[in-house]
Structure 1
Amino acid sequence: MNRLRHSTSPYLLQHAHNPVDWFEWGHEALEKARQEDKPILVSIGYSSCHWCHVMERESFENHDIAQVMNEHFVCIKVDREERPDIDQIYMDAVQALGVNGGWPLNVFLTPEQKPFFGGTYFSPAAWVQILTNINRAFQANRKEIESTATELSLHLLRSDVARFKQEPVDTALGTDLEDIYKKLAVRFDTKWGGMDRAPKFVMPAVWQWLLRHYNITQHERALHQVILTLKKVGMGGIYDQVGGGFARYSVDGEWFAPHFEKMLYDNAQLMTLYAEAYAITRDEEFKTVVYETFEWMQREMTSEAGGFYSALDADSEGIEGKYYVWTKSELDSLLKENAELIAAYYNVTPDGNWEHGNNILTRLHTDKIFLNTHPVDEQSWKSIVKRSKQILLHEREKRIKPGLDDKIITAWNAMMIVGLTDAYRIFNDSIFLKAAEKNMRFLENELMEGTKLYRSFKGSRSKVEGFLDDYAYVIQAYLKLYQVTFQEYWLNRASLLLEFTLDKYFDETEGYFFYTGHDAEGLIARKKEIFDNVIPSSNAIMAQNLYHLGVILDRDDWKMKAIAMTTSFAHLIKGEPNYMAYWAMVYTEIRKGMAEVVITGETLHELRSGIQTSFHPFALYMGTKTTSNLPLVTDKTLVNGRTTVYVCRNKTCLLPVQTAEEASQMIATQ
């Protein structure tokens, strides 16, 4: 075994038996490169990455290839989920070279950590050729390599904020919304949902913004595109029809064949998205998706202490998707008299709809259309589907499972807390809140030290301190918990963490947050995360945190910071909303303003649940059974001794009401 055997990262531990003399990122490896004047190979991936496994199997387990790597390079393995700061820098460098990014990410550096060449997956023959050529070039053409490395390093030092920040131009909210909508709409796939491209990622923030656009404008086409997308995704192979939960993306344009890995962060965001869509449509299929995803997470992704694991691999027994697919004969044997109906429902054929006679379970029609052409009543059909799923799930549990990345990442856990609290808010089912609170207690016990966060936990917490996304999502989770429980402890924690993050991560010069703290390890560049990916930008989440806490705690300084951060990117939000969708949500909240909903009295939770089961994306909630020192709550009193709701905006309140229906109507029409 090599020195990676001492790591806590499941990804690094997967490489602990390689003949490559791997180092973890750190002083020992970097000092070795400087002393021996060797180029550094940084190979970055994560435990559920399919092509990472392929390259390991083909190249890193090959003794002859390992010998070349060990002789000429200092080889460093990095788990991108534990060290996203390193991944960000070198991904940016590779993309600047004109190479499409992806994982595994293999980057060659000078002994001073400056990148000069990189790429993603390489076949064994290509990899040996690259190793040989780079070694020769490093010896014979050092000046050219140093020149490229210096140029790339200068690129990495350029600030995205400086490149894109502009003075905002004041326009009407309706115009802004229409600009954003039109930019998104030209790329809609109006047949299969999502955007017109393949492979297809769900990108939840885009659809969440469209729901908010609909809430303001009642633009039916916007709502239709969201419903179409969520229907097609929920019916497709990207959704685990038997066990619940979503795969990372679909390799085709029809959501049919997934890249089978399941990531916690995708499922966290989709819990929120499907719950919000249900709040508008009351479509039971959306509710089913939320509950099945929750059951999958509890069954397969939750530790006894309440922490949520990171990911499930795409592969089992070395074959992608093997755990999830079925033959027609298996269904016949297991489901007996219901086999033909279920086969028709899930598009299962004797020859298979996928590879090697296997079938990915996918639905081509909604239940309503399916039942129009099959002789079974709706109630009986629900019972047949439920029982068939139970049988198939029980059988599937006997198979060899995909690899589990049981690393617990702070940011992703907080994202799931947000998803769970949103589900609790809309479905008013305590199972979601209990899981969210248990997870937050786990984070506080294992990954927090006062206001300091740590990145990850596996048996014990890692030594890596939290990054901006860890703080951003934990603050957001605290805020969400407060607004469904009205326990001021959660709000106080959010406020303390926000103060800490401003002190340690905020750049007063540019007005945005660095991804790493002021006292973090000095890498060759210190980045600010601006653009959304599948996970929204940590700066966008922080802007929303500043705005929401600024409203609730009446902190104009925090609100002004949020407004400055968001409006300075208004042109980007309107011009590139696919990459700025979460910013678009914050921008829309700021332009429209947030209703301040204060509930006071003994039965505040009955009123809260009655209000929050409706879709009110532009409302923030405060409450107390007795009294509170919160600035927007302190003067709110009972009317006639009964629990009372105040709906306010900019601290100016409408007449108090005492029913959820009246309060809901006020929020909706403000």
Structure 2
Amino acid sequence: MNRLARETSPYLLQHADNPVDWYPWGEEAFAEARRRDVPALLSIGYSTCHWCHVMAHESFENPETAARMNANFVCIKVDREERPDVDSVYMTATQLMTGQGGWPMTVFLTPDRKPFYAGTYFPPEDRYGMPGFRRLLASVAHAWQEDREKVQGNAQALSEHVREASRPRRSAEDLPEGFLQRGVENLRRVYDADLGGFGRAPKFPAPTTLDFLLTRPDGRDMALHTLRQMGRGGIYDQLGGGFHRYSVDERWLVPHFEKMLYDNAQLTRTLLRAWQYTEDPEFARLTRETLAYLEREMLGPLGGFYSAQDADTNGVEGLTFTWTREEIHAVLGEGPDADLALRVYGVTGEGNFEDPHRPDAGRRNVLHAPTPPAELARDLGEDPARLQDRLDTARMHLLEVRATRPQPGTDDKVLTSWNGLALAAFAEAARVLGDAHYLNIAVGNAEFVREQLRLPDGTLRHTFKDGEARVEGLLEDHALYALGLISLYQASGDLGYLEWARELWNVVRRDFWDGEAGVFHSTGGRAETLLTRQAQGFDSAVLSGNAAAALLGLWISRYFGDEEAERLARATIRSYADDMLAAAGGFGGLWQAAAFLEAPHVEVALIGTPKERAPLERVLGRFPLPFAALAPAEYGEGLPVLEGRPGNGTAYVCVGHTCDLPTQDPQGLAEQLRRLG
């Protein structure tokens, strides 16, 4: 056992039995590097990363390789999800040095934490056009001993490049004419009109971009078509619900099988909005199935959501999720129900997937649903409801049997930022679908975070595992959780959640805003000092910290009349405007903020007891109002939009400074909302 045995991160604990003398990130490791006068070898990954497992098995579990690592380096392991700030800094270095990035990330550092050589996965021996890891270790150790001055010069130069690349470049003072329209046009240039999505394989879900497009009449078709294609593909778990990480092909057929909390939480809200715009029951079905998956497999006993599930089972990618014809027949028999399942899910004897690293596992089928059940019912001349019942029964039996198989590992650490996304998903589903069960889950999550991750000064910790909250909260933690609390207020009418969101906004403004640069930094002033203090505007897989902060500022402005909050949001969008136009697909969150900034100021207050509000809330849930300040409350007090207004189940719809007549009639409210467009 090495020092990682004392950690709580599941990823670090996976390496606690390695013969490598791993250190966790911290001063102890770098002090040891200085004492021994050797470089640090920094290895960054995460628990559900397939190639991280491969490199661990090939190199870190190999006694000979481990001996070379221990002899010439101080070896440091980092969970990128636990320390996204460390990951981001050294990922920038890796991308600058190699032109690409990814995990596992392998970076060699001087004892003062400056990078001088970087890469991602390295095979044990020379192959794939890459140097073998053992040869690389020998080369770096030799350079450190024999050419120290050059190594240190490279480290200094690369560190300066990292700082320069991390420095925000402010755009023009005003957003250009037709800014939002140009963003949509740029996205359409890379849109796949046949198969949905953007660009070529691999294809990622891109929920933040889809959310922006849903708000735009000139771009909504791209989002809706993409969501429909994804929902029919293998990227969606046709039996268990929820989305896998990405599709390795253009057709959304074969996924990379890991499942992430952030993908499923964000896509749930996207699907809800798609349902509001279309009333297509398929979007509601996908929403409910994804939420059921999150509750069943990702919700911990204390109310926090786990982070991720692995792609591999017993070392074979997708083994839990894939099927053969014979396995389908073994569950459903030889009759028409099995034939229906085989046809609906596209199962063939040849299969459509094979793990290239485990050909011994054979060819199997990723289940997908290329033909919608209603269309299939027409082809078969069968009643659609009857066919759907048969399919639902078959799906239930297949899922029950799948649950008895070995399951992929679950990373059960709780991340505050990603839990903010899940909080928003369940809260918004409760409001839109009118399901109190979802609201109970959302409230439970907020209680968990308040009790376990909130400090007395109002700041948040980043991660929770085994009863311990760790790591200074980042911008993403405070901003994303605050956005979730706003959704919870809109669903519950409890003003306490909105006040908590404002408390977190005050932390964001105080600890993360850089007025000179016009952006929010990813780390606060009390966080560990790294090579540089970065500001993230680009959405990786999750809404970026600056996008989340800008959206939060706009909500605080709408609800509380906070002009400074809107000013900071506007300045943030301006700072990234040039980048947004240059790479529209990477800034969906900031495009949402820009659309919010230009949207009319819409307020909808519903005042009365929960019972009195219920008929009005059912109507309100059907309408897509992504930028409206929804204000449910029992009494006309606590917010400017509520002050002095009578209740008893009354709705007030206002645009700017003009309000419709108050109404207690659900049909009257529907007509007022319809006129909003």
Fold match by TM threshold 0.5? yes
Matches within 5 A, 1:50-89: 50-89=50-89
Matches within 5 A, 1:504-543: 504-543=511-550
Instruction: Give distance in 2, aligned partners of 1:665 and 1:541.
Output: 32
The answer as to whether partners of 1:600 and 1:626 remain within 8 angstroms in 2 is yes
Instruction: Give distance in 1, aligned partners of 2:667 and 2:589.
Output: 30
Q: Aligned with 2:251: secondary structure?
A: coil
Aligned partner of 1:3 in structure 2 is: 3
> In terms of mean alpha carbon deviation, does 652-661 or 425-434 score higher?
652-661
Q: Deviations over 1:43-75 (max 9, x none)?
A: 000000000000000100000000010000010
1:610 positional shift: 1.3
2:284 corresponds to which of 284, 287, 299: 287
1:458 positional shift: 1.3
Aligned partner of 1:167 in structure 2 is: 173
Instruction: Return closer, same or farther for 1:559/1:224 CA change in 2, 3 Å cut-off.
Output: closer
Q: Deviations over 1:355-381 (max 9, x none)?
A: 223111112212233223224321111
Q: Deviations over 1:409-467 (max 9, x none)?
A: 11111110111122122211112111111111111111112312111111122331111
Return the TM-score normalized by structure 1: 0.95
Query: Does 2:271 match 1:274?
Result: yes
Query: Does 2:321 match 1:348?
Result: no
Instruction: Return closer, same or farther for 1:24/1:329 CA change in 2, 3 Å cut-off.
Output: same
Q: Aligned with 1:516: secondary structure?
A: coil
Matches within 5 A, 1:18-97: 18-97=18-97
Aligned partner of 2:128 in structure 1 is: none
Query: Does 2:633 match 1:624?
Result: yes
Q: Which amino acid aligns with 2:583?
A: E
The answer as to whether partners of 2:619 and 2:669 remain within 8 angstroms in 1 is no
> In terms of mean alpha carbon deviation, does 331-340 or 66-75 score higher?
331-340
Q: Which amino acid aligns with 1:508?
A: G
Q: Aligned with 1:16: secondary structure?
A: coil
Query: Does 2:211 match 1:208?
Result: yes
Aligned partner of 2:617 in structure 1 is: 608
Instruction: Give distance in 2, aligned partners of 1:551 and 1:651.
Output: 13
Instruction: Give distance in 2, aligned partners of 1:170 and 1:39.
Output: 48
Query: Does 2:153 match 1:154?
Result: no
Instruction: Return closer, same or farther for 1:169/1:269 CA change in 2, 3 Å cut-off.
Output: closer
Q: Deviations over 1:238-284 (max 9, x none)?
A: 11111111100011111111110000000000100111111111111
The answer as to whether partners of 2:171 and 2:574 remain within 8 angstroms in 1 is no
> In terms of mean alpha carbon deviation, does 37-46 or 648-657 score higher?
648-657
Instruction: Give distance in 1, aligned partners of 2:396 and 2:27.
Output: 52
Q: Which runs of 5+ in 1 are unaligned?
A: none
The answer as to whether partners of 2:247 and 2:255 remain within 8 angstroms in 1 is yes
1:133 corresponds to which of 131, 139, 142: 139
Aligned partner of 1:242 in structure 2 is: 239
Aligned partner of 2:359 in structure 1 is: none
Query: Does 2:261 match 1:258?
Result: no
Matches within 5 A, 1:421-500: 421-450=427-456, 451-500=458-507
1:198 corresponds to which of 193, 197, 201: 201
1:354 positional shift: 1.9
Instruction: Give distance in 2, aligned partners of 1:594 and 1:571.
Output: 26
Q: Aligned with 1:599: secondary structure?
A: strand
Q: Aligned with 2:75: secondary structure?
A: strand
Query: Does 2:395 match 1:389?
Result: yes
Q: Which amino acid aligns with 2:91?
A: M
> In terms of mean alpha carbon deviation, does 261-270 or 495-504 score higher?
495-504
Query: Does 2:577 match 1:570?
Result: yes
Instruction: Give distance in 1, aligned partners of 2:164 and 2:460.
Output: 28
Q: Which amino acid aligns with 2:627?
A: F
Q: Which amino acid aligns with 2:97?
A: L
> In terms of mean alpha carbon deviation, does 581-590 or 175-184 score higher?
175-184
Instruction: Give distance in 2, aligned partners of 1:100 and 1:417.
Output: 33
Instruction: Return closer, same or farther for 1:142/1:490 CA change in 2, 3 Å cut-off.
Output: same
1:207 positional shift: 1.1
Instruction: Give distance in 1, aligned partners of 2:615 and 2:383.
Output: 36
Aligned partner of 1:557 in structure 2 is: 564
Matches within 5 A, 1:91-110: 91-110=91-110
The answer as to whether partners of 2:170 and 2:576 remain within 8 angstroms in 1 is yes
Q: Which runs of 5+ in 2 are unaligned?
A: 126-131, 355-361
Instruction: Give distance in 1, aligned partners of 2:208 and 2:531.
Output: 31
Equivalent residue pairs, number: 658
The answer as to whether partners of 1:161 and 1:530 remain within 8 angstroms in 2 is no
Q: Aligned with 2:41: secondary structure?
A: strand
Q: Deviations over 1:378-415 (max 9, x none)?
A: 11111111111111111111111101111111111111
Instruction: Give distance in 1, aligned partners of 2:654 and 2:576.
Output: 28
Aligned partner of 1:224 in structure 2 is: 221
Instruction: Give distance in 2, aligned partners of 1:160 and 1:40.
Output: 23
Q: Aligned with 2:470: secondary structure?
A: coil
The answer as to whether partners of 2:98 and 2:119 remain within 8 angstroms in 1 is no
Instruction: Give distance in 2, aligned partners of 1:32 and 1:200.
Output: 43
1:169 positional shift: 4.0
1:613 positional shift: 2.1
Instruction: Give distance in 1, aligned partners of 2:33 and 2:635.
Output: 64
Aligned partner of 2:411 in structure 1 is: 405
Instruction: Give distance in 2, aligned partners of 1:59 and 1:525.
Output: 31
Instruction: Give distance in 1, aligned partners of 2:81 and 2:294.
Output: 19
Instruction: Give distance in 2, aligned partners of 1:162 and 1:51.
Output: 32
Instruction: Return closer, same or farther for 1:33/1:43 CA change in 2, 3 Å cut-off.
Output: same
1:667 positional shift: 4.2
Instruction: Give distance in 1, aligned partners of 2:404 and 2:251.
Output: 30
1:636 positional shift: 2.3
Q: Deviations over 1:294-326 (max 9, x none)?
A: 111111111112211111100111111111111
Aligned partner of 2:377 in structure 1 is: 371
Aligned partner of 2:588 in structure 1 is: 581
> In terms of mean alpha carbon deviation, does 232-241 or 140-149 score higher?
140-149
Instruction: Give distance in 2, aligned partners of 1:74 and 1:583.
Output: 40
Q: Which amino acid aligns with 1:367?
A: P
The answer as to whether partners of 1:313 and 1:404 remain within 8 angstroms in 2 is yes
Instruction: Return closer, same or farther for 1:3/1:162 CA change in 2, 3 Å cut-off.
Output: closer
Instruction: Give distance in 1, aligned partners of 2:146 and 2:166.
Output: 35
1:557 positional shift: 1.5
1:545 positional shift: 0.6
Q: Deviations over 1:8-36 (max 9, x none)?
A: 00000000010000000011101011121
Return the TM-score normalized by structure 2: 0.95
The answer as to whether partners of 1:110 and 1:149 remain within 8 angstroms in 2 is yes
Aligned partner of 2:329 in structure 1 is: 332
The answer as to whether partners of 1:164 and 1:572 remain within 8 angstroms in 2 is no
1:505 positional shift: 1.7
The answer as to whether partners of 1:324 and 1:360 remain within 8 angstroms in 2 is yes
1:664 positional shift: 4.3
Q: Which amino acid aligns with 1:89?
A: V
Aligned partner of 1:16 in structure 2 is: 16
Instruction: Give distance in 1, aligned partners of 2:288 and 2:596.
Output: 29
1:594 positional shift: 3.0
1:170 positional shift: 5.2
Q: Aligned with 1:646: secondary structure?
A: strand
1:183 corresponds to which of 181, 186, 200: 186
1:380 corresponds to which of 386, 392, 409: 386
Q: Aligned with 1:298: secondary structure?
A: helix
Instruction: Give distance in 1, aligned partners of 2:192 and 2:524.
Output: 41
The answer as to whether partners of 2:478 and 2:504 remain within 8 angstroms in 1 is yes
Q: Deviations over 1:614-667 (max 9, x none)?
A: 1112311113222313222113235xxx53222223444333333344444444
1:193 positional shift: 0.7
Instruction: Give distance in 2, aligned partners of 1:568 and 1:20.
Output: 44
Q: Which amino acid aligns with 2:281?
A: E
